[in-house]
Amino acid sequence: MTQETVPAEKLQELIALFAQGRFLEVSTRATDLIAQYPRGHQLFNILGAADDKLGHTEKALAAYHRSIEMKPDYAEAHSNMGATLFGLGRYSEAVDSLQKALEINPNHVPA
């Protein structure tokens, strides 16, 4: 059975693991949670961030794209995609993503 809204405590657990540098665990757990919450745009964003840290940049970009497809005004996913694209030397695309994040939320400052 799938559900629509990801419980805040599940997201917080993933964020805490990410902060601890446990990126493989974050990727695995996020993937498992996506099976339960396939519309969880935050899960795809977190999955993308973990995959990026693991060096799986194309998977990360695909996850960010999925997050943005579900919630086009999600500044965090645009920002994370921009950072990944910048790391790949795809500067023009990176600037576009980062500008979109700032258009959505002018106060958004990437970590």
CA distance 111 to 109: 6
CA distance 3 to 14: 18
DSSP string computed for the chain? ---SS--HHHHHHHHHHHHTT-HHHHHHHHHHHHHH-TT-HHHHHHHHHHHHHTT-HHHHHHHHHHHHHH-TT-HHHHHHHHHHHHHTT-HHHHHHHHHHHHHH-TT----
pLDDT at residue number 107: 84
One digit per residue, the tens of pLDDT, for the chain of length 111 reads: 566 789 999 999 999 999 999 999 999 999 999 999 999 999 999 999 999 999 999 999 999 999 999 999 999 999 999 999 999 999 999 999 999 999 999 887 664
pLDDT at residue number 4: 73
Q: pLDDT tens for residues 65-91?
A: 999 999 999 999 999 999 999 999 999
CA distance 74 to 61: 15
- What's the predicted TM-score (pTM) here? 0.92
pLDDT at residue number 111: 46
**Yes or no: domain 8-104 corresponds to CATH 1.25.40.10:** yes
pLDDT at residue number 92: 97
